[in-house]
Amino acid sequence: MENGVIELSESSVVTDDVMKKIKTAGVRGLDINKAKELGFFDRISNLLCATHASIMAAYRIYGGVEYMLTEFGGRKNEIAKAMNDYEKAVTKFINFWTDYYAHGDACQEMNEETEVLYRRIMEWSQLPYEWNLGDPQRIEDNSANVAIRLCTDEKQLTFKTSTVNNEVVGDILESWCVTKYNEKEHKQTVVEDNMDKASAMMVAKRLSADDAENIYTASMVQDLAERKTIVTPYKAYRGNETIGRLTKQFK
């Protein structure tokens, strides 16, 4: 994942597997060839890949519940039955739709997707990745744009600085560059810059011929100046009383 983007597998193998299952099960009135032409199976495949990553990330989070209850002898009676039913249902669903993920490189990709999404969900929930008895239940939201943080009886609230009314002023300066993307490290770097369009495409193509393991892109670079309206919460009030104030100093 780079810049907040989570990479999800997209493969013709998954699409073929989905199409095979639907053909085997039989769907009344479905024209297989027409559906394939219109992207019916590709769409289902993409949604199932996203579903699979989400379910596995949730299952990773659920593992913390399972560990706690098992470790302290709480997994019994109705609790044990509910947990066993849930685990069997998840396994049955995953096994039916995602045979492709169960072997080879696809399994490794699946594990990486799950770990990345798991960490993003935990971060979004402000829950620590690792936790021991007695540790704080929440992690701090260290986002640079948090202005006021409030803790009420029910929840923790954050009021953040927001930017509105972005407006480009002046001319946009355009140039081109070549980037290299390493799939194994999930890292993209600029290898040539300050180029024109034709040169960038020529260099990207040439580099890709010499280095087939990585992906090279000819990319447009735009330099521009903006006028922004920035709104920063300074004080928060409830019932005619101050309940929160700016936590950072203005620069």
Q: Report the distance separating Cα 148 and Cα 160, nearest Å.
A: 7
Is the overall model pTM greater than 0.85, yes or no? Answer: no
Q: Hey, what amino acid is at 163?
A: T
pLDDT at 25: 77
Q: Does residue 249 have a pLDDT over 60?
A: no
Domain ranges of the chain: 12-124, 164-230
Q: Over 60: is that where the pLDDT of 107 sits?
A: yes
* Residue-level pLDDT at 179: 95
